[in-house]
Amino acid sequence: MSDPLFGADDEANTPLEAEERHALIPTYIALRRELNEAEQVNIAGALRWLSSRRREVLDERFLRTLHKQMFGQVWHWAGTYRQTARNIGVDAWRIPMDVAGAIDDARYWVEHQTYPPDEIALRFSHKLVAIHPFPNGNGRFSRLVGDLLAEQLGQTRFTWGSVNLVDPNETRRSYVQALRAADSHDFAELIAFARS
């Protein structure tokens, strides 16, 4: 049986370390469904917070603050980088360096128009989720960052398959497949998916 709180029914759903389960703030949460709900309410608050401020997406402090705004009512570690290994992502000690490198690259792409705006936003979003900076929430965080960077570059937000990608479903499988192609430096699938 998979754990009811962090079920292993979806391989792309990174399991948490036991110690990190203690980092839940709401004491009533016992089921995965309750966790998802609490996170969704938290993220809705982050979207309201975002709408009332100017933002520079390509900034490390902003990115950490954004993660904190998205998950800070649910997880004690929101906005702080992970310290333990994951099945996706770089070694924990590399995270600050790799995030800084991702920001530098994206700034360069923006300045030199290396790629079309959508592709810049999606390459940056994918780089973040591939680094996997936080203990959890990296998928939702990286998609919102992609949306915000697209907006900053004059585009609309992405549709990301137009369904809820948190639960396992066919669309989520296409999404993870597109991420895997992007891991191998092929971004065509992800670019098409994000506007589908």
Ligand X SMILES: Nc1ncnc2c1ncn2[C@@H]1O[C@H](COP(=O)(O)OP(=O)(O)O)[C@@H](O)[C@H]1O
DSSP per residue, 96-132: HHHHHHHHHHHHHHHHHT-S-HHHHHHHHHHHHHHH-
> Of the candidates 69, 125, 136, 142, which one interacts with Mg ion according to CB under 5 A?
136
* For Mg ion, the closer CB: 51 or 87: 87
CA–CA dist 138, 75 (Å, integer): 13
Site for Mg ion in 72-91 (CB under 5 A): none
* For Mg ion, the closer CB: 42 or 136: 136
CA–CA dist 147, 151 (Å, integer): 6
Shortest distance (Å) from residue 118 CB to ligand X: 17
Residues near ligand X (CB under 6 A): 12-14, 88, 129-130, 136-140, 176, 179-180, 183
Shortest distance (Å) from residue 38 CB to ligand X: 13
- Residue 21's contacts (CB-CB under 8 Å, 6 or more residues apart) are 5, 6
* For ligand X, the closer CB: 113 or 188: 188
